[in-house]
Structure 1
Amino acid sequence: MGPRQVGKTTLVNQLSEQIDMETYFVSADAVPSSDTSWLAQQWETARQQMQIHQRTEFLLVIDEIQKIHNWSEMVKLLWDTDTRENRKLKVILLGSSRLLIQKGLTESLAGRFEATYMPHWSYQEMSTAFNWTLDQYIWFGGYPGSGDLISDEERWKNYINNSLIETSISKDILMLTRIDKPALMRRLFELGCLYSGQILSFTKILGQLQDAGNTVTLSHYLELMDTAGLLGGIDKYAADVVRKRASSPKFQVHNTALISAQSNDLFENIKNDPKEWGRIVESAVGAHLLNSGLSEGFKVYYWRERNDEVDFVLERRGKVIGLEVKSGADQSNSGLSEFQKKFNPDKVLIIGKSGLSVEDFLGMNPVELF
C-alpha cells in the first residue's frame, strides 16, 4: 500500500520478471465498486491458468483493490478455500488508500497477510534516479513520474496538480468515502499545504473557509487526506494520549511537491527568499519523517509551550528524540533546552547549519537515530 505514483505497480512487475512463477495481473481501477463478483471471477481465472500451465505455484496480483466494496470479505473466502484445497496461489494486493486497505486487513484478514508500505521517494532515491540536487528535491519533492519534467516548471506544476493531486482526491477519497462537503475538503487541502509546518487550530481554520463546517468534519477530512499520502496533521507531544489527540495539529505535507505545485513562486525565485525557503526545508524534513515513520513504525509529533517549540518529536518503543530544524539566521535552541528539562528525551538533534546538515539527514533513514 502507498500513495499514488510511487512505483507499487512497477515494483511488482519487476518482481514477476525475476521470479520463476506464472503471474496474472489485473486492476480494479475501472471496475464499479458494487461489482463484487469481479473479484471472484479474476481469482477463478488465476486458478484456471495455474491448472492449464500445470504450475504448483502461481501469483495473482490485484491492483487498486480498495475500489471493490467489501473486498476483504471476498478475499478471505477465496483464500481460505485455496488453503483448504492445498492450492498454492500466492496473492499480492495493491492499493493507494491506506485507511481502506488497513481496515479490510484488520477486520477480515487477521493472520493471513503481511503489509508493506511504500512511501514517497526519498532524496537519496530521487538523486540516484534523476541526478537531482538537494535543493531540487526540497522544492520538487519525491514523485518519480515528474522527475524528467522539472526543466519546464509550468508543465511540472500541471502534471502534479492534474495527474496526482486531483486524481488522489477524486479517486482515493471522494469516490470511496462519503464526503458531504467536497469543496470544503479541497479548500482544507489548499490551506494545509499553504501552512505546512505551522500549527493552526481547526477553529481558526474555519474562519478562513467560506463553506460552513465544524472542527469534527475538518479533522475527519484531514485524516482521509493523510491516509491518501497527501496532507497530515501532526499532534502535539504530551505525556498522555488524550492530551496528544486534543491538540491543535501542525500541518505537514507528505511530499513538498504538493506545496510547490500550488505555489505562484518558481524554483529559481524561492531560493532567494530565506524565510519561505526555510519553510520549504522544514516541510521537506517533516515529509521525510512522516514517510519513514509509516514504514519504520515510529510516531512523529511536535512540541510547544508558550514561546518554546520543538519542530519534531519522534517516539519509538519508549524512546523519545527531539529534532529542531535550523535553516535560517535564527540559530537559538531554547525550545530544545526546555524540552530536555521537561521530558528528559533520549536524544536531541539540530538539523541545519549548527548541527547535522539537511542533506545528511534527508539522505539517512531516521529510524537509525533510535
Structure 2
Amino acid sequence: MESFERPHVARLVRELTDESVPPLIVAVTGPRQSGKTTLVRQALRRLRGMGHRTRYIALDDPGQPRWSSLSGSDTTVALPPPPRDTEWLVSVWRQARRDAEAYRRGLVLVLDEIQHVKDWSSVVKGLWDADRREDHPLKVVVLGSAAWRLLTGMGDSLAGRFMSFPVRHWSLREMVEAFDVSLDEYVFFGGYPGAIRYAEDLRAWRSCVAHSIIAPTIDRDILDLTRVDRPSAMCQLVDMAPEYSGQVVTYEHLAGRLRSGGSPTTLAHYLDLLSDAGIMTRLSKYAGSAVRRAASNPKLLVLNPGLMTALSGYSFDEARNDRTFWGRIVETAVGAHLHNTLEAAMHLAYWRDDPHEVDFVLFQGPRVLGVEVKSGRQRRALPGLAAFKKRFPKAETLLVGGRSGVRTNQVPLNEFLAEPASHWLSGKGWGPA
C-alpha cells in the first residue's frame, strides 16, 4: 500500500506544474476515507523530488503546523498552536507568498480541511486576486471532506478562481492492485482503503466503517456546516441503507418509516446531502424527459457497498450464501461504480414500466445505455432490457454478470467494475452473447 499511487497523483502533479495555463486554486474534494490527504502528500513528495518547494498544513490538527523550510525539506518550524481563524489564514498565506518569492519555482501551499476556518472563502478570494495582480509564484491546494461542503463554503465568491479535483471511492482495480482483494471481497468490503486492513476482524471492520466514516460524515461533514432540521431522520435514512439500496420507494413510504417523519422535499434534500458526502444517493426514473425524471419516485443507492454490508449485520459467508441479499449487494456495487465514475454531463437513472424494469440507465447527450445486473449463473430471459429497447430503439443494452438466454451485449462483473462509466457508454469492451 505504501508504494501504491492512484492515477490522481500524476494528474495533480501535472496541474501544479503546467505553466501553459494561468494557475487556479485546486480544490481536492471527496468522501471520507477516499485517500485525499494521502494522494496529495504523494504528489507533494513527487514535486519535491522535481525541485519544487511545498508546504502542507492540516487545519484539523490540534497541534502546531509543520512545514518544510526553504533551507531543506527535512527542516521544520514549530509554532504554538494558533487559532484557526481568518487572521491566522492571512498570516499563513502571506508567509507562504514571501517564501514563494524567494524561490524561482515558487511554492505549493496545501490547506487541508480548509472549511475549519469560518468565512475562509471571502479571505481566499482577496488573497488570490492580489497574488494574480502581483504575479506571485504561489500555488494553492485546498482539501475538503466532500464536494458539496467546499462548494457551499465558496458560493460564488471563488467562481473562476478554482479547479475542482474530485476524489471518489476506490475502484475494484485500485483495491486489487493495492490490497490484492478478490472480486467477492470487494463487493462485500467495498472501496475503503483504510478499513480493508480490518477485513479479518469483522467486528473491528464494522466499527471502523461506523465510527470513522459514517459518524464523522454526518456529525462533522453535514450537521456542523449545513442546516438539518431533523438530524435523526438523516441518521435513520442511513440505517435503512441495507434494506433499501437498489429499491424504488416513495417518499411517503420513507417518511412513514422514519420516527420523525419528513416531507418529500426534506427527504430529497437529505438524500442529496448524503450523496454529496459519498454515502447514498437517489436515482430518478429515465423517461427521455428531464421534467418527468425529476417527478419520479426515487431509487435509493448506497455509494460504497461496504456501507451496506457493514450496517447489515451479515458476515462475509452469510452474505454470499444468501442469494437474494448477495444479488442486491452486487447490484449496489455496479450502481455505485457507475455513479462514482460519472463524468461531466453524464447521468445515471433507472427505468420502470410495470411489470418491466432496468436496473440502471446511463446517458449523456444522445447516447443511452440500459444496464441490467445478474449475480447468478443461470440463463434467464431479460424482459426488462427487451422492453426498454422497444421503448427506446436507439439505446444500447448491457447485461452485467450472469448469463442470458437472449441475444444481448454482456460482460462479466469483474470486467465491468474495472472500467469507468464512459467506457461502457461508448460501447467499448462488450460482445454479443
Distance 2:301 2:89 in 1: 36
Q: Identify the residue that residue 275 of structure 1 maps to in structure 2.
A: 324
Whether 1:356 and 2:411 are equivalent positions in the alignment is yes
Instruction: Tell me: CA distance 1:242–1:192, structure 2 relative to 1, closer, same or farther (3 Å).
Output: farther
1:233 aligns with one of 278, 282, 287 = 282
Distance 1:241 1:288 in 2: 23
Whether 1:7 and 2:35 are equivalent positions in the alignment is yes
1:16 aligns with one of 28, 38, 44 = 44
Higher mean displacement: 208-217 or 167-176: 208-217
Q: Identify the residue that residue 322 of structure 1 maps to in structure 2.
A: 370
Normalised to the residue count of structure 2, the TM-score between the two structures is 0.81
Distance 2:171 2:278 in 1: 14
How much does 1:157 deviate?
0.7
Distance 1:265 1:92 in 2: 40
Letter in 2 for 1:188: L
Distance 1:269 1:148 in 2: 20
Q: Secondary structure at the match of 1:116?
A: strand
Whether 1:247 and 2:296 are equivalent positions in the alignment is yes
Q: Identify the residue that residue 306 of structure 1 maps to in structure 2.
A: 354
Q: Identify the residue that residue 140 of structure 1 maps to in structure 2.
A: 189
Q: What are the Cα deviations for residues 308-365 of structure 1, in whole angstroms up to 9, with x where unaligned?
A: 1010000113211110001135723111111111122431101111231111101122
Unaligned 5+ segments in structure 1 are: none
Distance 2:393 2:130 in 1: 53
1:343 aligns with one of 389, 392, 396 = 392
Distance 2:330 2:309 in 1: 12
Q: Identify the residue that residue 259 of structure 1 maps to in structure 2.
A: 308
Q: Identify the residue that residue 54 of structure 1 maps to in structure 2.
A: 103
Distance 1:99 1:62 in 2: 17
Q: Secondary structure at the match of 1:107?
A: coil
Normalised to the residue count of structure 1, the TM-score between the two structures is 0.94
How much does 1:39 deviate?
2.4
Q: Identify the residue that residue 130 of structure 1 maps to in structure 2.
A: 179
Contact 2:149 2:221 in 1 (8 A): no
Q: What are the Cα deviations for residues 245-280 of structure 1, in whole angstroms up to 9, with x where unaligned?
A: 111111111101111111111001111111111010
Instruction: Tell me: CA distance 1:248–1:68, structure 2 relative to 1, closer, same or farther (3 Å).
Output: farther
Q: Secondary structure at the match of 1:15?
A: helix
Unaligned 5+ segments in structure 2 are: 1-28, 63-81, 404-409, 427-433
Letter in 1 for 2:356: D
Contact 1:27 1:63 in 2 (8 A): yes
Q: Identify the residue that residue 42 of structure 1 maps to in structure 2.
A: 92
How much does 1:56 deviate?
4.1
Q: What are the Cα deviations for residues 40-66 of structure 1, in whole angstroms up to 9, with x where unaligned?
A: 222123123334x53441101111123
Q: Identify the residue that residue 249 of structure 2 maps to in structure 1.
A: 200
Q: What are the Cα deviations for residues 191-233 of structure 1, in whole angstroms up to 9, with x where unaligned?
A: 1343101111110111111113222111111111110011101
How much does 1:77 deviate?
1.1
Contact 1:193 1:252 in 2 (8 A): no
Q: Identify the residue that residue 286 of structure 1 maps to in structure 2.
A: 335
Percent of aligned pairs with the same residue?
41
**How many equivalent pairs are there?**
368
RMSD, matched Cα: 2.0
- Bigger Rg, which one: 2
